[in-house]
Chain A
Amino acid sequence: MIITILYYLLVAYVVFLMTWNILKSKKWQEEVLYVIVLIPFLLRLLRLK
């Protein structure tokens, strides 16, 4: 149970880092790719999938 919570915290950290990188990015292709990669992490964090 504690381990599962740690995984959600890890996913939250990754979501935070990716969002930060999207905001800092200057290339549109990079931003699109970040968004695609971000979605599964976000939905896992929200416990939707």
Chain B
Amino acid sequence: MLRKISILALGLALAFFSGLSFYRSRHLKEPVVLGPGVTQVKKLSEYFPAIKGSTNDANVYVLEGAKPGGAILILGGSHPEEPAGRLTTWILTENATLEQGRLFVLNSANRSGTTVTRLGGAYPPDYTIRTPWGEQKFRTGDRWSNPLDQWPDPEVYIHYPSRQELAYVDIRNLNRAWPGRPNGTLTEKTGYALTQLIKKEKVDIVIDLHEAELQYPVISTIVAHQRGQDLAAMASMVISAEEFKIDMENSPKALHGLSHREIGDNTDAVSLLFETPEPFLDATRGRTDARLLLEGKDEFVVRAGKHGLLYEKIDEKGWPIDVRVGRHCSTFIQVLDLWSQDHADKAVVMKNVPKYREVIQKGVGAFLHDPAKADPKTVYYE
């Protein structure tokens, strides 16, 4: 009996400490200090009430210029485990100002996915960005929604409306759930709510921020729906000439559920998806921790690169988060500039967002603001 009690006690201790860790990271508060450009903070449920009160009823930060113009939606956290996307949206919400047009920003497009880490993936529960005023913690998140918000999975995920069959886990993948389904799963409802936002706000361009493993062919690129082809090609040319190399790819027509395909097909908006390199996601990665997530340095990934197995270069310097966020910022700025040049009446003119070199020079943390010192009315939580 004593033996049984001891074994049970050890098990309960393991369950207690892990449970505490899961609970804490799931409820970790991520502050957003509203920048001068934010004019409204809406809830995603305002566009589709069925998700009201759910984990995915995300904040929608609205930035409006004095002059009317076009509308842009930018999504961070479609795949929360790709931190450059979320951090870029933090820079936008905390710093950007608009002179013309409207900008809609979601820092956590799939908020449920930010509250869980990958089974078997050994992800750190959170990561810390150093800032001039201290440190700010972010949830690492996963590619998929939390099973606590959406359970069970089917045997096969059949995408709506294409009926394309996908791996069962992808039923919790927001970037396989577009254009969404009003009576579907939480992830499908989230896709639907975002599609409603795009339609109701007459969004002209949707940008979905991602990162990819270096072993994946779609990397360091802008993936564009056919209606965004010219814009993406031009942006890639200008950026590659002035700042860093970035490619452009056409969204495959037969691949369904992805933002760059479905938003373009189902709404009037042009859809683009940006990819930066994230060695943390590579299957050959070594020790998995927050350092790898943020510094992107890995001996094994470098070795795979030396054998010609990667689609992007990597050396001992790795792919630091500042470089990745800098790429997203510059690509976004360039796309807006090019769009605005060609569409004067639908222009979106944005200021105070750092470009590639400035992010690398100062670090991402330099653009995050201290919630303790901010007016509490301007502090929101993700």
Contacts and interface: CB of A to CB of B under 8 A. Distances in A.
Asked if A and B form a direct contact in the complex, defined as CB atoms under 8 angstroms apart, the reply is: yes
B193 to A, nearest CB: 18
A3 B11 CA distance: 29
A32 B3 CA distance: 10
A12 B353 CA distance: 51
B14 A39 contact: yes
A2 interface: no
A35 B19 contact: no
Nearest to A4: B151
Given A4-B152, A48-B22, A49-B22, A31 B4 contact: yes
A35 B11 contact: yes
Interface string B126-157: 00000000000000000000001001100000
Given A4-B152, A28-B3, A49-B148, A39 B8 contact: no
**Interface bin, chain B:** 10 to 19
A35 B23 contact: no
B8 A43 contact: no
Interface residues of A, number: 19
B7 interface: yes
Given A4-B151, A49-B148, A39 B15 contact: yes
Given A43-B19, A48-B23, A3 B10 contact: no
Interface string A35-49: 110110011001111
Given A22-B4, A39-B15, 14 more contacts: A7-B152, A31-B4, A31-B7, A35-B11, A38-B11, A39-B11, A39-B14, A43-B19, A43-B22, A46-B19, A48-B22, A49-B18, A49-B22, A49-B116
Contacts of B3: 28, 31
A41 to B, nearest CB: 10
Contact of B8 (A3, A4, A7, A22): A22
A38 to B, nearest CB: 7
A12 B238 CA distance: 59
Most central of A7, A28, A46, A48 by chain B CB within 10 Å: A48
